[in-house]
Amino acid sequence: MTKVSGEDLGNRFGTRAVHAGKIPDPLAGAVMTPIYQTSTYIQEGLGRHKGYEYARTRNPTREALERNVAALEGGRHGFAFGSGLAALDAVLKLLSQGDHVVSGENLYGGSHRQMTHVWARLGLEFTFVDAADAGELAAAVTPRTRMIYAETPTNPMMRLCDLAAAGETARRAQALFVVDNTFATPYFQRPLEFGADVVLHSTTKYLNGHSDMVGGLLVTGRDDLAERLGFLQNAVGAVPGPFDCWLASGSPGIRKWSGCIIRACRRTHSTSWRAAR
């Protein structure tokens, strides 16, 4: 189970984007995490290893990405998956047959398809509402509601959800609050600060930003959920390869993306300030 260091959480956003989650390579001292393109690891004896036994369970390159995004979101634990939909699949596996989910109606098409054509057939019940209407969302809650799911802004219609209101509704219902933060990114919005239990990303999109990999990621600040998600990640095995993780977290991905956003926002602020004068 990947856990963020307290030192990383203490840094500002730009520093987190570049350095969070990176542990110098013990062999050569490389500052940036190498691509550990391996499926197995040497063991000193039966059951005696260095913390890495099989790459489906743990891989240092994948862990660097997991720690990095978790730190950007202000969470404690990150879990990388082979796609955003694989991450959603893991989230919905936290539920059981007969459980009810209240979700925004304007979702990424793949998310809606998975909910209605896969999970509904297996016994989950979904109610889709206008997530921009906090009253409508709250009114859809039933005694069997176990999760409130929000995507904000939505893909592709850019519809918004009041995260604070939705988080309060989830708290009152004692339901999990899950937020797809793909389009906003943690630079503009950190749902954990509004009561979210789990944050979901399709790393394929803004976090990577170069259309050269497919991936997903979950972040949580709760140790109990981290235990369950870590179990599902390993038991189901929908993990990304180390090269895709490197593309997302290394120079081609988050490090370059974050720098571009920070510079663009500073230029916009400077321009606005000059215009106001």
For helices 242-249 and 60-73, what crossing angle results, to 10°? Answer: 40
Q: What is the DSSP letter of 101?
A: E
What pTM value is reported for the model? 0.90
Checking if the pLDDT of 122 tops 50, the result is yes
Q: How confident is the model over 20-42, as pLDDT tens digits? A: 788 888 888 888 889 999 999 99
Judge whether 104 lies within some domain.
yes
Judge whether 245 lies within some domain.
yes
Q: How confident is the model over 128-155, as pLDDT tens digits? A: 999 999 999 999 999 999 999 999 999 9
The residue annotated as part of the active site, out of 108, 197, 206, 255, is 108
Q: How confident is the model over 64-88, as pLDDT tens digits? A: 999 999 999 999 999 999 999 999 9
Q: Please give the tally of structural domains in the chain.
A: 1
Q: Do residues 11 and 20 lie in contact, with contact meaning Cβ atoms separated by under 8 Å?
A: yes
Q: Do residues 56 and 187 lie in contact, with contact meaning Cβ atoms separated by under 8 Å?
A: no
Judge whether 90 lies within some domain.
yes
Closest by CA to 81, choosing from 197, 202, 183, 199, is 202
Judge whether 194 lies within some domain.
yes
The residue annotated as part of the active site, out of 3, 56, 222, 228, is 56
The residue annotated as part of the active site, out of 180, 190, 244, 255, is 180
Counted residue by residue, the chain has a size of: 277
Told to judge if 93 belongs to the known catalytic residues of this protein, a careful annotator would answer no
Closest by CA to 118, choosing from 83, 89, 154, is 89
Told to judge if 222 belongs to the known catalytic residues of this protein, a careful annotator would answer no
Q: Domain limits at 139?
A: 6-44+51-276
Judge whether 142 lies within some domain.
yes
CATH of the domain at 133: 3.40.640.10
Checking if the pLDDT of 3 tops 70, the result is yes
Residue 200 β-bridge partners: 180, 218
pLDDT band for position 256 (cuts 50, 70, 90): low
Judge whether 1 lies within some domain.
no
Residue 177 three-state SS: strand
At 45 the pLDDT is 84
Average pLDDT across the chain, whole number = 90
Judge whether 91 lies within some domain.
yes
Checking if the pLDDT of 273 tops 50, the result is no
Cα 115–chain centre separation: 18
Told to judge if 180 belongs to the known catalytic residues of this protein, a careful annotator would answer yes
Closest by CA to 64, choosing from 26, 120, 24, 113, is 24
Closest by CA to 130, choosing from 122, 138, 120, 121, is 138
Q: How confident is the model over 194-243, as pLDDT tens digits? A: 999 999 999 999 899 888 999 999 999 999 999 999 999 999 999 999 99
At 267 the pLDDT is 52
The residue annotated as part of the active site, out of 159, 205, 222, 228, is 205
% of the chain surpassing 90 pLDDT: 72
Q: How confident is the model over 41-55, as pLDDT tens digits? A: 998 888 788 889 999
Told to judge if 133 belongs to the known catalytic residues of this protein, a careful annotator would answer no
Residue 103 β-bridge partners: 128, 149
Checking if the pLDDT of 98 tops 80, the result is yes
At 15 the pLDDT is 80
Judge whether 201 lies within some domain.
yes
